[in-house]
């Protein structure tokens, strides 16, 4: 049975060796889990044991999860997020279609009113609702719930669709961008090479052909080989990437960009954020609340020599940029705009790469705000956009 599991992992492009697989079998034989173990064993126990033994690099966790779920069809949820709001309240049974006139007639609550009203609904509501305009439920025009239509509300569970929620009441899991993604073309790499500053700082040597020829000629034809240190791109890059939510639509293109950046820049540091940068960033999406990196520390750690590149669609509620507590995930003490200003002041050479089509930028208030905050240094994730961004950063 587990032989097929091993081949499933290999098919998922996980670097699992036979030696590691034998170590897993030995752990099972010794009774770490299974029938010989003292306590009852669940599929979760096998998941954690096999991941610990077989996966040696955290960047492969997401690949392992997908391969594990594919092999053990119907695998249980590995993390239990308890919710105070009953799941039954959020079960969507029908889609309510509204006319353009009905949508235009809906009024959006202000931030303070929205938060106060949501608190009252949590205290007052006792049962499931659907298709209404007041309670937490699905469908309808209520600003609380999911699957409905409202110009400004709090999404509770479910999937986003209309992109009008200013807060999300849900525990969301993101996955790290895959830095081994194979590029369909070399265009992204070629565009990134416009940001180059070569220096001979390597310990490895290469043939200096011109000096070898001149030295040999001056030495009456006796070969006199000259070597020099290899040249490497000495540019330092700090990459901050938006992940999750509306960025899910752009995963493939961002992974291609991420792969190219890791190939082209030897001095690269990267972190993740969601929608807007606040007081902390992270490197691993599965532990983004357990392993935070203070944004102040990031600014202190890397000097002004680093080129700061944001990657994000800048598509969010304006409150997430301008309002303390506006983050969809937690109560941020300071507005995102303040952190963006601090970052752009700390790193004068900066640019924002936006995967959203440039034609929609003028219709989204949040994109206009971000553009202003980064000094109109926003470029589309296209070949020309990347070339323009690299030219700007190289100045």
Per-domain boundaries in the chain: 2-71, 87-169, 187-196+235-394, 198-229
Residue 32 has pLDDT above 90, yes or no: no
User: Could you tell me which residue, 305 or 191, shows the higher pLDDT?
Assistant: 305
Contact yes or no for 306/360 (Cβ under 8 A): no
168-182, 203-217, 329-343: lowest mean pLDDT where? 168-182
User: Could you tell me which residue, 110 or 259, shows the higher pLDDT?
Assistant: 259
| Whole-Å CA distances, 108 to 22, 98, 113, 118, 161 | 60, 16, 10, 14, 17
Residue 309 has pLDDT above 80, yes or no: yes
* 298-305 mean pLDDT: 93
* 31-39 mean pLDDT: 70
| pLDDT score of 185 | 40
| pLDDT score of 266 | 81
* 127-143 mean pLDDT: 62
| pLDDT score of 83 | 41
Kindly indicate the confidence band of residue 342, based on its pLDDT and cuts at 50, 70 and 90. very high
* 211-233 mean pLDDT: 77
36-50, 196-210, 344-358, 367-381: lowest mean pLDDT where? 196-210
162-176, 214-228, 255-269, 271-285: lowest mean pLDDT where? 162-176
129-133, 303-307, 357-361: lowest mean pLDDT where? 129-133
Residue 232 has pLDDT above 60, yes or no: no
Q: Which of 173, 178, 183 is nearest to 63 (CA)?
A: 178
Kindly indicate the confidence band of residue 75, based on its pLDDT and cuts at 50, 70 and 90. very low
Spatial separation of the C-alpha atoms in residues 157 and 136, rounded to whole Å: 11
Residue 78 has pLDDT above 60, yes or no: no
Q: Of all residues in the chain, what percent carry a pLDDT higher than 70? A: 65
| pLDDT score of 374 | 95
* 231-255 mean pLDDT: 86
**Mean pLDDT score across all residues of the chain:** 77
| pLDDT score of 182 | 43
* 107-125 mean pLDDT: 67
The pTM assigned to this predicted structure is 0.54
Statement: 187-196+235-394 belongs to CATH 3.30.110: no
User: Could you tell me which residue, 211 or 152, shows the higher pLDDT?
Assistant: 211
Q: Of all residues in the chain, what percent carry a pLDDT higher than 90? A: 25
* 166-185 mean pLDDT: 55
């Amino acid at each position: 049975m587990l032989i097929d599991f091993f081949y499933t992992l290999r098919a998922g492009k996980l670097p699992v060796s036979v030696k590691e697989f034998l170590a897993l079998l030995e752990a099972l034989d010794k009774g770490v889990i299974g029938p010989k173990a003292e306590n009852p064993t669940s599929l979760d126990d096998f998941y954690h044991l096999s991941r610990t033994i077989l996966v040696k690099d955290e960047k492969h966790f997401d690949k392992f999860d997908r391969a594990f779920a594919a092999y053990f069809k119907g695998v249980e949820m590995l993390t239990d997020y308890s919710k105070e709001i009953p799941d039954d309240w959020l079960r969507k049974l029908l889609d309510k279609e509204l006319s353009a006139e009905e949508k235009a007639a809906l009024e959006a609550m202000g931030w303070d009113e929205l938060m106060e009203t949501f608190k009252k609904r949590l205290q007052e509501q006792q049962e499931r609702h659907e298709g209404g305009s007041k309670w937490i439920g699905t469908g309808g025009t209520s600003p609380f719930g999911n699957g409905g239509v409202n110009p400004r509300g709090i999404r509770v569970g479910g999937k986003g669709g209309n992109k009008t929620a200013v807060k999300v009441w849900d525990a969301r899991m993101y996955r790290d961008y895959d830095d081994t993604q194979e590029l369909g073309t070399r265009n992204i790499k070629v565009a990134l090479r416009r940001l180059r500053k070569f220096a001979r700082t390597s310990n490895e040597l290469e043939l200096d052909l011109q000096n070898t020829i001149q030295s040999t000629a001056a030495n009456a034809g006796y070969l006199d080989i000259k070597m020099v240190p290899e040249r490497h791109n000495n540019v330092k890059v700090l990459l901050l990437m938006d992940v999750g939510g509306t960025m899910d639509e752009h995963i493939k293109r961002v992974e291609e960009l991420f792969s190219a950046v890791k190939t082209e820049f030897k001095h690269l540091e990267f972190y993740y954020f969601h929608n807007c940068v606040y007081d902390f960033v992270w490197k691993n999406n599965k532990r983004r609340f357990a392993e935070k990196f203070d944004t102040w520390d990031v600014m202190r750690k890397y000097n002004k020599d680093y080129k700061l590149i944001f990657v994000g669609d800048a598509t969010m509620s304006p409150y997430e940029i301008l309002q303390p507590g506006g983050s969809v995930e937690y109560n941020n003490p300071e507005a995102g705009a303040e952190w963006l200003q601090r970052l752009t002041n700390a790193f004068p050479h900066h640019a924002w790469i936006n995967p959203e089509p440039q034609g929609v930028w003028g219709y989204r208030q949040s994109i206009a705000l971000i553009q202003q905050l980064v000094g109109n240094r926003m470029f589309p994730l296209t070949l020309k956009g990347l070339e323009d961004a690299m030219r700007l950063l190289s100045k």
